[in-house]
Amino acid sequence: MNTPLVRVLYIDDEENNLHAFKASFRRQYEIYTAISAADGLKILENISIHVILADQKMPGITGVEFFKSITYSFPDPVRILLTGYTDIEALADAINHGDIYRYITKPWNDLELHNSIKNAYDAYKAKIDLRNKVAELEKTNDELNRFIYSISHELRAPLVSVMGIVNLVKMESLFESSGEYWGLIETCSNKLDYYIQKTLQYYKNNKTISEHTPIEFRKLVRELIDLYSYSDKETRFNVTIDQSEPFFGDVFRIEVILGNLISNAIKYQKEGATDKRVDITIAVNPAEAEISISDNGMGILNEHLEKIFTQFFKSKVNHGSGLGLFIVKEALNKINGKIAVSSDLAEGTTFKITIPNAK
């Protein structure tokens, strides 16, 4: 069975060492030698090398310095340092920066050096295999996300038609004509539309590149309240916005963040409560926007507070998709924002958000 051909580059300013190395290992490996770092760099530019050996003490540049100089241009080859003396500081520096796989003292032991090269090549293969698998997984994940996005769009078309038919039935005063059936159709359609919207939000949040544009929080909050409160006219909004400073940010993600939190504040009010209230406070300064969204709803159990931002988490009273707060957290991560939550079952829930001003 053929063994893979391992390409090894050895750089040393002493020709005798280069000849000795080639004589010892030419049968096991494809050997390339260089008398200087400059010659070694030329070989790297033309040949795909798997393992690099370099002498520490060379004129003009040390082995550690050479390895550091090729960290970004040639990150894949595994590095082995050969040294005839113990320079602890240089070795510690090289290891700490991840520039060498291991070091071997000169004169080397052939068996030790052979094993080191073999193990270094195994590390090289593992690195390349991992990268290929990650690339394959990323491609598969991207294809799956695009498929989900496409399907979600396709589902919306017939769903909008169904919701349109329900509205026509209402306009013709036939909504109550078939008992609870039209109501069930409307409820199921709204729930499906909600799931589709959250799926599209999740996809867009992952794919959309941040663009910083001017944001007027008064206008944005008013539009979001109108959008999410159309089905619940009982909830009262108290809005206080202090924006004397211009604010620049990612309007798509800020809409996603505020929209999900306002929607939740409405959705999780106490059933039958007569004083449903949501307080929104926003203060903008040159560095950031500080946002607080509070409700007097049903609150969140203490043991759930650390879990509410995880994907698909649902409490017993949560009838949503389990994606809303996860999307909020992901969107904040994309724009370097922060979020904190406090809650009391009797008093309600408060979310505090900080978003950097990108101006």
Per DSSP, the residues of 128-163 read HHHHHHHHHHHHHHHHHHHHHHHHHHHHHHHHHHHH
Other Cβ atoms within 10 Å of 18 Cβ, number: 19
Whether residue 13 is predicted with pLDDT greater than 50 in this model: the reply is: yes
Q: What is the average pLDDT across 306-328? A: 73
User: 328 and 257 in contact (C-beta within 8 Å)?
Assistant: yes
Residues 6+ apart with CB under 8 A from 261: 293, 328, 351, 353
Q: What is the pLDDT of residues 197-250, one digit of tens each?
A: 777 777 777 777 778 999 999 999 999 998 888 767 788 999 999 999 999 999
Whether residue 1 is predicted with pLDDT greater than 60 in this model: the reply is: no
Give the per-residue pLDDT at 178. Answer: 76
- Residue carrying the six token digits 């970004």: 72
Topology adopted by domain 7-108: Rossmann fold (3.40.50)
Give the per-residue pLDDT at 158. Answer: 85
User: 211 and 253 in contact (C-beta within 8 Å)?
Assistant: no
**Four-way CATH pick for 136-207: 3.30.390, 3.40.50, 1.10.287, 2.40.10:** 1.10.287
Higher pLDDT, 277 or 160: 277
Say how far apart CA 50 and CA 101 lie, in whole Å.
12
Whether residue 101 is predicted with pLDDT greater than 50 in this model: the reply is: yes
If pLDDT is split at 50, 70 and 90, which confidence band does 71 have? confident
- Give the bridge partners for 239, in sequence order: 280
Q: Is 348 left (phi over 0), alpha (psi -120 to 50) or beta?
A: left
Give the per-residue pLDDT at 279. Answer: 95
Question: In the chain, which residue ranges form alpha helices assigned H by DSSP?
Answer: 15-25, 37-46, 63-69, 88-96, 110-171, 181-207, 217-228, 251-267, 324-334
Question: How many Å separate Cα 9 from the centre of its chain?
Answer: 37
Provide the token pair at 9. 């580059």
Say how far apart CA 322 and CA 312 lie, in whole Å.
4
If pLDDT is split at 50, 70 and 90, which confidence band does 111 have? very high
First to last CA, the chain: 63
Say how far apart CA 29 and CA 117 lie, in whole Å.
9
Give the per-residue pLDDT at 90. Answer: 63
Residues 6+ apart with CB under 8 A from 265: 235, 278, 293, 294, 295, 297, 349
Domain ranges of the chain: 7-108, 136-207, 210-356
Topology adopted by domain 210-356: Heat Shock Protein 90 (3.30.565)
Say how far apart CA 62 and CA 136 lie, in whole Å.
38
Determine the residue type at 277: R
If pLDDT is split at 50, 70 and 90, which confidence band does 144 have? confident
